[in-house]
Amino acid sequence: MVGAACAYYAARSGLTVTVLDRGPVAGGTTGAGEGNLLVSDKEPGPELELALLSSQLWRELAELLPPVTEYEPKGGLVVASGEAGMAALRDFAAGQENAGVTAHEIPADRLHDLEPHLTPALAGGFHYPQDAQVQPALAAAHLLKAAGERVRLRLGEEVTGLLTGASGEVRGVRTASGEVHGPYVVNAAGTWGGELARLAGVELPVLPRRGFVLVTEPLPRVVRHKVYAADYVADVASGSAALQTSAVVEGTPAGPVLIGASRERVGYDRSLSVEVLRRLAAGATALFPALAGVRVMRTYAGFRPYLPDHLPAIGPDPRVPGLLHACGHEGAGIGLAPATGLVIARYLTGGEPLLDTAPFRPDRFPAAV
């Protein structure tokens, strides 16, 4: 998704772009996502700025992309089970509001107006109307299509090396089928962004953070917003390697309800964890008791590309002239993709920077000892 957005905005700025993917479109990081476009889970700071810009850009893109991409500005609802949780949400929302986020406190007795199937055993919540959702794989594919003839798509073609000139500047990439020349290379390899950086001889510590999603049978609109428990925000921000789960539940236009969210650092291990699935199901049915009688059709796992400080790497790499990075967005890559693409396109065309990208500098991590 991030790569598609970079290609789209670069092409719109008049550049010609070759998109290389070793797999199909959205076959790596994007296809395993839920398509969250969230501001609600972000504390004030550089990532929230990027998310707010993205949220605006997604609204523009939604006009351009076909309805099949399922863009839904449905809003988020964060709920707390007790008064302590509610107080924490209130503090968090107050900070966000100063940064431009819209958040409305919903008292316990009004939660049902927003979500009729929600358990009555809650202390209240916050409604975030700017939260939205897309079907990420289709959004990526249609955005590449919308980019037009300036974007050439080469799928199933893996980058095996970087071509550099006499003074170390980027001249293109090598793939199994030959060389692709260009003055700039953008690393949008998601969870595998660290490997691509290594081909260029630089260290970018992108690591996988595994997550499972449960997919229910198609239902009527049982869940209307993206609904999640307050502890989700703490889990997202945590650096722990141990398994963390928090209930995140959302309906889709196609009918199935998606249930997350788990986080664990287990490398690229794709093996099914019954314990994770059990915890996800328990979390979801605690929020929505009606889901207890509903069947889960399938489950899928994916790897969030995370960097040690939980911020993405966006912008030129001062260590290799011509190399730019656009990866490491952890679980927020779909949401942050348009702003990332626009920032990258500005760098490529020498335009005015859109926002302060210093916190996203790709070389901000000390070299591994």
Partner 1 sequence: MARTPAELVGAQPEPPFEITLDGRPVAALTGQSVAAALWAAGILAWRTTRVGGRPRGAFCGIGQCYDCLATVNGEPNRRACLVPARPGDAITTQEGHGRADLSV
| DSSP label of 314 | E
How many whole angstroms separate alpha carbon 246 and alpha carbon 233? Answer: 9
Min dist. Cβ of residue 294 to partner 1 (A):
8
Which one, 168 or 255, has the nearer CB to partner 1? Answer: 255
How many whole angstroms separate alpha carbon 19 and alpha carbon 3? Answer: 8
3-state secondary structure of 142: helix
Min dist. Cβ of residue 111 to partner 1 (A):
13
Q: How far is CA 73 from the centre of its chain?
A: 16
Min dist. Cβ of residue 127 to partner 1 (A):
18
Which one, 11 or 294, has the nearer CB to partner 1? Answer: 294
Which one, 287 or 313, has the nearer CB to partner 1? Answer: 287
- Do 280 and 309 touch, CB atoms closer than 8 A? no
312 contacts: CB under 8 Å, gap ≥ 6 = 47, 50, 326, 327, 328, 329, 330, 332, 333, 336, 340, 360
How many whole angstroms separate alpha carbon 7 and alpha carbon 2? Answer: 9
Which one, 110 or 221, has the nearer CB to partner 1? Answer: 221
According to DSSP, the β-strands at 207-216 and 36-37 are unpaired
Min dist. Cβ of residue 215 to partner 1 (A):
11
Min dist. Cβ of residue 217 to partner 1 (A):
5
Min dist. Cβ of residue 101 to partner 1 (A):
29
70 contacts: CB under 8 Å, gap ≥ 6 = 35, 133, 134, 135, 138, 252, 253, 254
Which one, 125 or 305, has the nearer CB to partner 1? Answer: 125
How many whole angstroms separate alpha carbon 49 and alpha carbon 353? Answer: 13
Which one, 84 or 297, has the nearer CB to partner 1? Answer: 297
Where do we find the tokens 């099914």?
A: 272
Which one, 88 or 222, has the nearer CB to partner 1? Answer: 222
Contact set with partner 1 (CB under 8 A)? 116-117, 217-222, 255, 290, 294-295, 297
Min dist. Cβ of residue 212 to partner 1 (A):
21
Nearest to 346 by CA among 359, 334, 361, 357: 357
How many whole angstroms separate alpha carbon 35 and alpha carbon 136? Answer: 5
How many whole angstroms separate alpha carbon 104 and alpha carbon 109? Answer: 14
Q: Indicate the length of the chain as a whole number.
A: 369
Which one, 218 or 351, has the nearer CB to partner 1? Answer: 218
Min dist. Cβ of residue 35 to partner 1 (A):
20
